[in-house]
Amino acid sequence: MSTAFGDAQAKLLELFEAAVSAAHPATCVPPNLPEVPPGGRIIVVGAGKAAAAMAQAAEKHYIEKGQGGSISGFVTTRHGFGLPTELIEVVEAGHPVPDENSITSARRALELAASAGPDDTVLCLLSGGASALWAAPVDGVTFDMKQALTRHLLKSGARISEINCVRKHLSRIKGGRLAAAASGKQLVTLAISDVPHDSPDAIGSGPTVGDPTTLADARGILELYKITPPAEIAKALQEPANETPPPGSGALSRSHYQLAARPMASLETAAKIAAAAGYRVDILGDSLEGEARDVAAFHAAMARNAMQRGDRVALMSGGELTVTVRGNGSGGPNQEYALGLAIALDGADGIYGIACDTDGTDGGVGKADDPAGAVVLPDSVKRARDIGVDAVTFLQNNDSTGFFRELGDLVMPGPTQTNVNDFRVILVDP
């Protein structure tokens, strides 16, 4: 990273770390855990990028209460995100594209939920990433077909909510179907939100809540993005048996849902630190969606206007932006946002930015050591130009990772063990 703006870099990284810490399972899970039912057990299932840390926090809580003998189960997390546990097994699977472990884990979770006795409580520990980590294709659709469709959707520019709608209707576990498997049993879901508006039906594709979307919605999304699926998938999306249970379904009558961490809470934690440092804080929202480079250009204009007014402000935002893949480079929406921001600012003095995924990895190839995002400094584009790197060319090739790697401005914390979606800050310092 550039040494000319060290104080600003340090402050940006401090804000990111504070946002992540606020949503860490060790902090947010224990206060929300259910009591062990009299005469029964806690049977744990779970999936997501925070699943291993959630399992750790849960078992520590019950062990300290002398109730470890009443706890069992397993959770599924992304490859490289596993942690050591004593009572709750941790399995690693593929993300963002499912793998064979995703199939095995989903089947096992359905069976375990169904095995609960009348006095047991099924505890579902849910966080972002569960949609890929639990893959249970409906009859007639193979894993390879669903995997290929997921890749097409990820490259199409479809919003995550749209991708999840299609996934739900091709799955035996998503869209309330895990709750249906545990029908008649007490089911408690603790969720760490990584979606716009903290919608339970969207977190992990809502395996324990009613689904407001329909088969017709899923078909419409494929049409919108001009994706022609294999005949088997087209047939499955016409099959009434693959309709998900709607909100209010009787199968969900004993299901309780609790949010353990929200994106806005992380933004508010970072906002307090920025305010204490003398910035007026403007939280633009925790649910922003849109094309990463376009949102970056809009935010750059806001920052420039603040600079012209002499306004010392921190512009903060969350949500989940998208990237329409046009080239063959690497980098997720946070890095593409950062590159778009750097280009739009074009060396504007006194404006600094950071964009990172709070799970610790942004796009990439699915490895635990992929970058989380990048830092933008007033001299980013100039330093690139000085070494023969053209920012616009890299953006056109969707190669934001390559661009920021050349500058040494990638943020690479590794797995953070939580996931409250994107975290973006622009500091304007006249």
CATH 3.40.50.261 fits 24-136+171-210+245-261, yes or no: no
Could you tell me the sign of the dihedral formed by the alpha carbons of 402, 408, 409, 415, in that order?
positive
What secondary structure letter does DSSP report for 293? H
Half-sphere exposure of 364 (CA within 13 A, CB side): 21
First to last CA, the chain: 22
> What are the start and end residues of each CATH 3.40.1480.10 domain in the chain?
6-21+264-428
Which are the contacts of 379, defined by CB distance < 8 A and separation ≥ 6?
2, 4, 5, 347
pLDDT of residue 62: 98
| C-beta neighbour count of 31 within 10 angstroms | 9
CA distance 337 to 374: 9
Q: Given pLDDT bands bounded at 50, 70 and 90, which one contains residue 366?
A: low
pLDDT class of 137 with cuts at 50, 70, 90: very high
In this predicted structure, the answer to whether residue 160 has a pLDDT above a threshold of 80 is no
Q: Please state, in angstroms and rounded to a whole number, the distance separating the CA atoms of residues 327 and 233.
A: 28
Write down the pLDDT at residue 413.
95
Fill in the DSSP letter of residue 66: T
Residue type, 299: H
The answer to whether the bond into 246 is cis (omega within 30° of 0) is: no
pLDDT confidence of residue 186: 95
**C-alpha distances out from residue 15 to 9, 94, 302, Å:** 10, 30, 20
Residue 215 has pLDDT above 80, yes or no: yes
Tell me the pLDDT tens digit for each residue of 374-388. Answer: 999 999 999 999 999
Spelled out in words, what is the top-level CATH class assigned to the domain 6-21+264-428?
Answer: alpha beta
> What percent helix, strand, coil does the chain show, rounded to 5?
45, 20, 40
| pLDDT at position 197 | 85
Residue 28 one-letter amino acid: C
Confidence of residue 363 (pLDDT cuts 50, 70, 90): confident
pLDDT of the residue at 406: 97
Q: Is the pLDDT of residue 368 over 90?
A: no
Higher-confidence position of 55 and 363: 55
Q: Sign of the C-alpha dihedral, residues 328, 334, 339, 344?
A: positive
> What does the pLDDT average to over 127-144?
92
Give the whole-number percent of the chain exceeding pLDDT 70.
Answer: 98
Q: Are 98 and 150 in contact (CB under 8 A)?
A: yes
Please give the Cα distance from 388 to 46 (Å, whole number): 47
Which pLDDT band, with edges at 50, 70 and 90, does 155 fall under?
confident
Mean pLDDT, rounded, for 21-35? 96
How large is the average pLDDT for residues 242-257? 90
pLDDT, tens only, 50-77: 999 999 999 999 999 999 999 999 999 9
| Predicted structure pTM score | 0.86
Please give the residue that has the higher pLDDT: either 55 or 322. 55
pLDDT, averaged across the chain: 94
User: 308 or 3: whose pLDDT is higher?
Assistant: 308
Residue 3 pLDDT: 59
Q: Identify whether the C-beta of residue 417 lies closer than 8 Å to the C-beta of residue 349.
A: no
| Span 36-44, average pLDDT | 97
Q: Where in the chain is the domain with CATH 3.40.50.10180?
A: 24-136+171-210+245-261
Give per-residue pLDDT as tens, 172-210.
999 999 999 998 899 999 999 998 789 999 899 899 999
Is the four-CA dihedral 47, 219, 162, 190 of positive or negative sign? Answer: negative
